[in-house]
Every structure is written in structure tokens, then in C-alpha cells.
Structure 1
Amino acid sequence: MNLFPSSIQRMEQALSTATLKQRVHADNIANVDTANYKSKQVNFQQVMEQASASRVKSYRTDARHLEFQSGQGASPVTVNHNTVMTPNGNNVDMDFEMAELAKNQLWYNAVTERINGKFSSLSSVINGGR
């Protein structure tokens, strides 16, 4: 029996992704002056594939059907090679990183508020509406 609705599990995955993005952007900012450091980013598509692969258990019933991609083992964090390098070989754009950090913080706060609302609703049901 699953005690919590699947929406709570999806929000948990969203919080985990936001935490990963926070860590990656913080690492980029911390290494802004490190020679030859290449900025990293979180590949959202890879995160979604891993989340759906862990949730969907399937098998092919016909050889003509497409196989599900597992996405296991591959890291959703990729090195960014598409930006301008500074003379010391570093490609961290501080303005971009700070903007992404702020966007990620807003996303994290919104998901946290939503999950708090879900738990508040569950608490209300458990306590008989009191």
C-alpha cells in the first residue's frame, strides 16, 4: 500500500533536482577564478529520463516495439564547452550563474510550499479536519 500520493514523489524528485542544480551552480561560482575550470550544467532531459525510468517498469511484448531507455549510470551533470573562455581557460559566466541560482531558488521555494500544502492536507485528514 502506498501511503503518499504519486504527486508527493514527483515533488520529492523536483526537490532533489533543484538541490543538484544548486550544488552545480555553487561549484561554478566557487571556481570562477580557477584556471582551466569548465562550468557545468544539469541536463534537465537526462534528469527526466532517469526519473521516468525509475518509475516505469516495462517490458516489450513485441520485437517491433521501442525499448525503454533506462538512463542509468549516466550523470545528468555535463561540462559546458559552448561558452567564451577567459584568458586563463575558465568559462564561468558569473551573471548567468547568479541568475540561474536565483531561478532555482524560486523553483525550490515553490515546490517546498506545494509539498507543505500536501502534507498539511494529509495532516488535516488524519486529524479529522481539526
Structure 2
Amino acid sequence: MDVTNNRIDLLTRVMDTAALRHKVIANNVANVNTPGFKRLGVEFEQTLSKAIEAGTPVTSVSPTIVTDDTTAERVDGNTVDIDREMQQLSMNSLLYTAASQILANQLAQLRSAIAGR
């Protein structure tokens, strides 16, 4: 049962992070023409990987909103690239959908086990 709880915790955390990332991407898109705006990103996967390697509970890992310093600055000082944001939005949507489907499957298996089927 502990393994199942860990999977559910992980999937829930992934979905929460994807929801946060969606908000951050939407904010970046909304500020695509704002002079001096610096693109924001969400860090989670590397922190999660380190926590799993260290045996730390997944529930202790939280996503962090960070300023992305890797993107080239335009003449107006803005670092948002709309094409990149749309790609990130698409990838994030796929991640959320996959995690939600896997979570629904896990919960269906639990219901089945509880019902004795």
C-alpha cells in the first residue's frame, strides 16, 4: 500500500507543478510585449530527482518559480519568446494529461482492490 501511496503522491505533485507551470507560462505570454520583463520558469524535476535519490519523501518537494536567465534579451529588455512559450505550454499540457490519466488508473485499481474484483 505504501508504494501505491507514493505513486499517488508523486502524480499529485506532478499535476500540481504542471498547473503552476501553466500559470507561469500564461503570465509570460501576457507579458510578451512588456519592456524589461524577464521570463519566468518553474524548477521541479531536478529537485524531485535529487529527493528521490536521497530517499526524501516526494511530498517534501515543492516547485519553485525562478527567473530564466538563459533566454536571450531583446532590444526592449524582454526575454519572452512566444514560440518557446507555446511549445512549453503544449508539452506541459501533455504532461498534465498523462499524469491525470495514470492517476485515474491508479485510483481505479485501488477501487477494484477494495471492492474485491
TM-score by length of 1: 0.72
Matched AA of 1:45: Q
Among residues 79, 87, 94, which one is paired with 2:67 in the alignment? 79
Among residues 89, 98, 107, which one is paired with 1:119 in the alignment? 107
Quote the sequence identity (%): 30
Distance (whole Å) between structure 2 residues aligned to residue 10 and residue 105 of structure 1: 17
Q: Which residue pairs with 1:45 in the alignment?
A: 46
* Contact 1:40 1:80 (C-alpha < 8 Å) held by counterparts: yes
Aligned residues: 113
Bigger fraction of residues in helix:
2
Say if 1:122 and 1:41 are closer, same or farther in 2 by CA, change over 3 A: same
SS at match of 1:37: coil
Instruction: Measure how far apart 1:8 and its partner are.
Output: 0.7
TM-score by length of 2: 0.80
Whichever of the two has the greater Rg, that structure is 1
Say if 1:22 and 1:50 are closer, same or farther in 2 by CA, change over 3 A: farther
- Structure 2 unmatched runs, 5+: none
Matched AA of 2:22: Q
Distance (whole Å) between structure 1 residues aligned to residue 46 and residue 78 of structure 2: 26
Q: Which residue pairs with 1:60 in the alignment?
A: none
